[in-house]
Structure formats: structure tokens, C-alpha cells
Structure 1
């Protein structure tokens, strides 16, 4: 018989979400955790940019030395939204808010430093075909947990299974709860980026991280290409990484051309062509032979939440935690990880049933409050997909002219991150929207009103309930324990029936006594005069 490794939590997927959650459960809650991924030691692929204020808040909440996991840092953040609404192309909007680049290798090393965290380089080969039903025996649920049969022939018995394999996971399902409004299909953020060595000036300010450059003048030499870029906008994202050692006139720079969100997605090839054409137009001289750290970023955004009632807990992108309007996910996931780890550990310590543990984890991720905030952001993503480049320039110019605590809170979009208190309930969200309308160009504001109407007609009341106390609340993931057998149905009626049957039997009981036993009693009574 195959020997089973016994653990408290089996986490499938060893990216940032799975590794962080595993670290917290093992180190801070003393749980036995196994991290399962056939490429567990592979370098994490994407560059992660973070607001310094959010990173500092996470370090405090998680109790981790996260500052050591940052690479380059910038004191200010620049945006370029010129070319529309009477703003010249060279117009720059500077945000006095620090930004930083995460050193992926250092972050991974920190989170993998726990000796309590077991790592198995194997795969769980199956797909969920219905709620808690799979197309192979690789996952089998039992009354006290789950059994995983791994691709290397080993097996793990776990009290709880967590899925951190990404948005397009095969292990958990994303489906709107019964009776809830339908959710829009996902949009897709696509980006091509690379790190290069640049000789001389590289146009952008070396002291700033450039978050958005939505200009299209670099394509004006080819009207058809420029027209396509205006209809399907992309922006340049720039991280100056500092001078090359021994070459004071050479700089390392990470450039990335990004489609914020689209459905269908803008092609990687188009992003790459626009990226290098922009560098050429801006007179940026880079060494082709130094192109490194090429990134093909594919981020699904929005879509439905995990189907309620699943025994496997989806976390990170698998739980649709990517910000539906911006594509930000790392800090949101990291903020949630502490709450999810605490919920899991608490239920395990109480000896709760696996379904109760899973439900508590889902409730920690997608409380009704978090769902309502997400519904507001889902509309935002849908509306951004309607805008051409002029609309996006006007939208973001207005957005970043709001008070910092408002726009920063929207970009964060998760409890305990800075500014999120300005978006956690319906009234602050409504006031945020009303203030934004006063900042954006009138044609964009009118389009926004039309977008609200179209969205509500297509997807029901989810947006309206996110900004009013009307139309109810999102569904709860809270666990409902099974009803005990003796409490099923109308208990009073059943007890009444049992009493009446018992009384009827008691009345009939003398008739069942044998005639012999009754003869003396009958004789003694005799006939009445």
C-alpha cells in the first residue's frame, strides 16, 4: 500500500501567492505545509512594481523584512497624458509618491527560507469538472481532508488543499453564485518588456519611475498604425535602473509597452513593435546585444469569482484577486495572505471539518465588503476597455488630479493597504465617483454615464449595489453546517406524529393480551344487575 505523507495544508503552485501563504502558515502558525509545483525552483517570471507606501504597510502587517527585497527605488512617479484635451505632447504629470521595483530573487529567497516548508517538485494532474468533482483520481476528498496523487508517484494526505496555480487554474472553478448577476468575461493586460543598456540620455527623468506614457506621436509617420494605436491604446512603462558599472554615460533601463486591458487582447508582437518604435522616435540609443530579462506579461483581469462551496481554496490569481481595473495583484495578495493564513490556522486548531476550513478562507478573501468593492472596480475595467487613447488620457489626467488618498486607495483596492478606507463602503465609493466626474473632460464624463447604463442593462445590479445601500449584498462564502438528522424538516410535526402513534398503540395494547390471562378479571366482574 502506498505510504501517504500527512500534512495540515497542501499548496499547489509555488509562485508568490503559494510561497507566501505557505511561509506564513509554517512559520507563524506552526502548521505542516507542503508546497507542490513541478517548477518550484524556477525564477519567478514577471517584474513587480510597487508603491513604497504599500510595501511599508505590508512589512508591518506581515512582520517580514520586506525592505531588503526591493531593488531600484524612485522618489517620484511620472505620467504623460498629452496629445489630447489641449494638453501638449510633452506635458508631464509628476506624482510625489515613491515607487519601487521588487527584487524577485530576494523575495523568493526570503519566503523559501523556512525549514518548516516542504517543497515537492511534482504535479497534480487533473481538472475540476463540477464542484468538488475531478476528471481523475489525482484529487480525492474524504471526510477529514483530501488525498493527492502526484505525478512522481508519491501521495499526500492533507487536511486542506490550496490552489495557487493562477487565473486559468484547472483545479478550481470560477462561476457566479446561483441567483447572482452575471459577471463580465475577463479582460487581458498584455505587455512586452525588456531591460537594455542605453548610451546617453534616454528621454525620461532618471530620478522618476514613469508609470504611464500614453503619447502616440512616435507613430505619426504611419497614419494607419497611429490610428490603430489610438483605437487599441498601449502605454510605455519605464524603470531607470541606474548607471552601468564603469560606464558613467551608460544606463540600465527597463522599458515595457503595455495594453492596460482589452478583450480580445492586443498581440505581444504589436506591443513589441510599438515599444522599439517609441525608443527610436525618442532618440534612445540602446545596445541591441544587451537586451535581457525579456518579459511577455499576460494578466487576465476581472471575470467571475470562485464558485462557492469548493473544498479546495483558490488564492491569488486563482481566486480572481487581480485588480480588475489596473492589473495590480502582488500587494493585494500579500495583504490578504495574513488574513487567510489566520483563518485557516484558526479553523484547523478548532478541529473544524475541511469544508468549514475552506469556507473560512474564502470568507477572509471575498467577504461581502470585499466583493462589493471589487464590483465597483470590475465596472472600471469594463469602462476603460471602451475608451480610445484620447479618452484614456483625459480619464487618467483627471484621476491623478484627485487627492492622493483617493486615487491611491483605488489603485490599492484591498483592506489594510494605504487609502483603501476611502473605498471600503458604498458611500465613499459614490463620493469618489462623483469627484472623478468633475475632473475628467465632459465627453468622457458623458460616455461614463452611458457606460453605467450599458453595464447595468447587461450585467444587472452589481455596480448599483456597490455604490448604494439598495439591491442587496453580494453572496456570502460563510460555511453552513449540515443539519443534524434529528432536526431535518418540521420537527414539531414529526414529534406530534410520533406522540400520537405512541398514544394510539398504548390504547390498543390491552387488546393484545391473551384471552387466558383476562378470564379471571372478566369472571370476577360478572354480569351487572
Structure 2
């Protein structure tokens, strides 16, 4: 192999790619990057994280906003009032939003410090050999590395997985701007607002959506209408209409539209990758999205260093093949415990997808009465399998009969999803 060839070639330049690339660099791995855009091109989306998570990672200095007043609203059905103060569920855990520019610079500066070389192009073909993997690009040039890491996102270039049927998609439509009246309290972050007094009885029979909102300071607010996850997904135009109706019902008007987020399509229950392939994946390409919450950011930040260490250790054996290095990395990213939890989370998501508007609101009202360590651990994927089962059993016990009935009825592929968990447990 050419001496100029790297140990690892990372495909992509988004958060997942930069997280694993810098972690590898810190382990002494020689890394190159391949991206179809400039690595410093601004990221289009926002990235949130719980305050406890970011503090544990020592990255709190990269936050742009941090809220102490974190709440949700679940309402009381058709008799809901318009008041934003109605029935707030207080979470008592801080929530933060990364400064995207600072976070990107933080990683890119480390890449530069460790002499990471960037190549611009579109990965097209891959040949995994005994000593290295060869990547051919659309542009006609060739790259080689001992390990190729596909971190190109939810529609990866090379990562293969087994089809498990329709994918549940979380969809969002949001705006940032100023309003004629504050849409949320000063300094407040709203994780979920499921109140639906702005909808007709017929509209409440349609798939439920909720408002995700926050005070951005300086008179600006971020409001996003969100569908938790559905197949087929809730259309962007439906979310736009619902946000407009929600604002109108509260007497709110946008006086200065600063930014329009024209839709996020987040696959919630992607099948696990084929872990016998000689190319490794990370981030969305490796199905790391939390199936029950849509969270991934905290997980990829926590897990990148451990995965990088395994890769570096395996590479110390100069006889290790790309398949052997990749296999070790896959086993670190998806150990048996994580695979079991993923199966259980997918079963839970399938349940939530079938819930009516009333059931979903009742479910979350009950969910956030669980002890903080349980609901927080559930959302951040920090519980082990036994702790996860205990949390779910407790949720069933405290749930309303409306929710219990929905949890007990087996429809569609729910039985198969539950069996996938049980046979691994």
C-alpha cells in the first residue's frame, strides 16, 4: 500500500463524521476524509442535548443556549384552555442547543492539528481487500485505507442492512422569528406541547403532532411542529398548516421571519447494519438514531472515543484485515446489550405509532411521572436492558386504562418485534 495512504478514510463531513474522525486522530490513527462538500460548509440543522449529557462530555462551552425552565404540555382533551401556562409538566433537567459553528470549528481545528487530509468527491465503488479497501469516486480518482468508515448519513453510500419493512419517519417543520406576543415563557424550553385545542374533532383522528419550542433570546423564538414517527410520514404541508393553526388559536402572528426550517425527515427505526461487511459505519449510517425518541447526538459523542480506541488497538496488529478491523468496530458499536435494547425500543415505537391522540397524550403524561433517572435514561439510551424493562413495567402500572389497552393489543408487526427482543434476551 502507498505510504501516503491513511489508516482510516472517513466518508462525510457532518457531525458523525467529524466526531469519529477526531476520536481516531486522538488515538494516533492516520485519518483522511472524503466529502462531496467543503468540510466547513455550514450545517443546516440544530442539535440539542440534555444539560447532564453535555456536562459529562465536558463540551458545555460549545452550547449556544441552555435552558433551566424545561417543560412539556399535554393538555386535557377537548376542554383544554388556550393559556400557555395550562398544566405544565416540569422536567427539572436543563436542556442545551449547540452553537453549530463553534462545534464544527472545534472538530475541524482538531482535524487540522492532527494533519487530517480532506479529499473532495463522491464515493462510488468500494473493493474490500486483504490489506486495504479501495474507494473509487465519481470524479475518477482512487483512495485506499486499511479501514473505510461510512458516516455519510441516513442514506449511506456503502453500508448495507437487512430490510425490516417500512421505516417510521419523524418529520418536522419549524420557524425562527419574532412574534406579536411571546409564544413561550421567557427563558423557557418546551420539549413537547401536545395540546390540540386548535384542531377539530376530525383532525384529532389524524396522526398526532406536537410543538417543540424555545426562547432563543433577543426576542426570537424557535417553534417546530413535529410528528414523532410514522409510516408513511406526516407531510410537510400538514405540519406547516398545523403550526399556523396552533399560532392562530393563541392569537400569535410572526412579525419577523428569520429562518424557515423546510422539513426534517428522520428515520427512527432503521434496521441494524450488516455487521459482517468490511466497511464500518457511524452515526445515521449505522442506525444509531434512538427509535423511541429520535435522539442520536449524545450517543455519538459518548461512543466515538470507545469505538476509535477499539479500531486503533486492532490496527496495532499490522496483519489485521479490513474485515477484522471492521468486525471489531461493529462489535463495539453494537454489542449484544445494545442490540437487545434496540429491539425493545423498536417494539415501543411501533406501539406509539398506533396510538390515538388521546392515548399518546396520556402516555407521555404518565411517562414523565416516572422517576427522573428512568425517563431520562430511557430517552438518552443510558439504561441497561433490565433497567429498561423495569421502567417499561412501571410505565404500564401507572398508565391509564386507555394507554394500557393500547399497549396490550398486538397489531401488525408488533408481535414479531417483541419476539426479536425476547429471542435475544
Where relative contact order (Cα < 8 A, 6+ residues apart) is larger, the structure is 2
Q: Which of 77, 81, 96 is matched with 1:84 structurally?
A: 77
Q: 1:88 to 1:376 in 2, by over 3 A?
A: farther
For 1:20-31, list aligned pairs within 5 A: 20-26=19-25, 28-31=26-29
Cα deviation, residue 270, structure 1: 0.8
Structure 2 unmatched ranges of 5 or more: none
Distance 1:258-1:460 versus aligned 2 partners, 3 A rule: closer
Alpha-carbon offset, residue 287 of structure 1: 1.6
Paired residue for 1:385, among 333, 345, 353? 353
1:230–1:390 Cα contact (<8 Å) kept = no
- Residue in structure 1 matching 2:342, options 374, 382, 387: 374
The aligned runs of 1:388-399 (5 Å cut-off) are 388-399=356-367
- Counterpart position of 1:477: none
- 1:347 deviates by 0.5
**1:319 matched to which residue of 2?**
286
Q: Answer whether contact 1:5 1:155 (CA < 8 A) is retained.
A: no
Q: Is the 8 A contact 2:123 2:157 kept in 1?
A: no
Shift of 1:291: 3.2
**Bigger CA drift: 305-314 or 79-88?**
79-88
- Tell me the TM-score normalised to structure 2 length: 0.93
List aligned pairs for 1:281-300, cutoff 5 A: 281-288=249-256, 290-300=257-267
Of structures 1 and 2, the larger Rg is shown by 1
SS at match of 1:161: strand
Q: 1:191 aligns with which of 159, 172, 175?
A: 172
Residue correspondence of structure 1 range 217-256 to structure 2 within 5 A: 217-219=197-199, 223=200, 227-243=202-218, 251-256=219-224
Q: CA deviation at 1:227?
A: 2.2
Deviation at 1:455, TM superposition (A): 4.7
Q: Is the 8 A contact 1:238 1:254 kept in 2?
A: yes
Q: Do structure 1's residue 424 and structure 2's residue 417 form an aligned pair?
A: no
2:42 matches 1:43: yes
Aligned to 2:90: 94
RMSD: 2.1
Shift of residue 386 of structure 1?
0.4
Which of these residues, 175, 180, 186, is aligned with residue 206 of structure 1?
186
- Corresponding residue number in structure 2 for 1:359: 327
Point out 4+ residue stretches in structure 1 off by more than 4 angstroms.
85-89, 453-456
Structure 1: segments with no counterpart, 5+ residues: 60-65, 126-137, 177-182, 244-250, 414-419, 466-470, 474-529
Counterpart CA distance in 2 for 1:86 and 1:22 is: 52
Between 227-236 and 328-337, the greater mean CA deviation after superposition: 227-236
- The residue number in structure 2 matching 1:105 is 101
Q: Distance in 2 between matches of 1:84 and 1:217?
A: 8
Shift of 1:299: 0.2
Q: How many residues align?
A: 417
Displacement of 1:444 in angstroms is 0.9
CA contact (8 A) 2:74 2:193 kept: yes
Distance apart, 1:363 and its partner CA: 0.7
Give 1:68 deviation, angstroms. 2.1
* SS of aligned partner of 1:106: helix
Q: What is the TM-score with the length of structure 1 in the denominator? A: 0.75
Give the conservation status (yes or no) of the 8 Å contact 1:166–1:318: yes
Question: Residue 17 of structure 1 aligns to a residue in which SS?
Answer: helix
- For residues 24 and 455 of structure 1, the distance between their equivalents in structure 2, rounded to whole angstroms, comes to 38
Q: How many Å separate the matches in 1 of 2:175 and 2:101?
A: 17
Output the CA distance in 2 between the equivalents of 1:16 and 1:295.
20
The one of 105, 130, 147 aligned to 2:134: 147
Contact in 2 for aligned 1:194/1:292 (Cα 8 Å): yes
Give 1:440 deviation, angstroms: 1.8
- 1:69 corresponds, among 62, 68, 89, to 62
- DSSP 3-state at the match of 1:47: coil
CA distance in 1, matches of 2:212, 2:13: 27
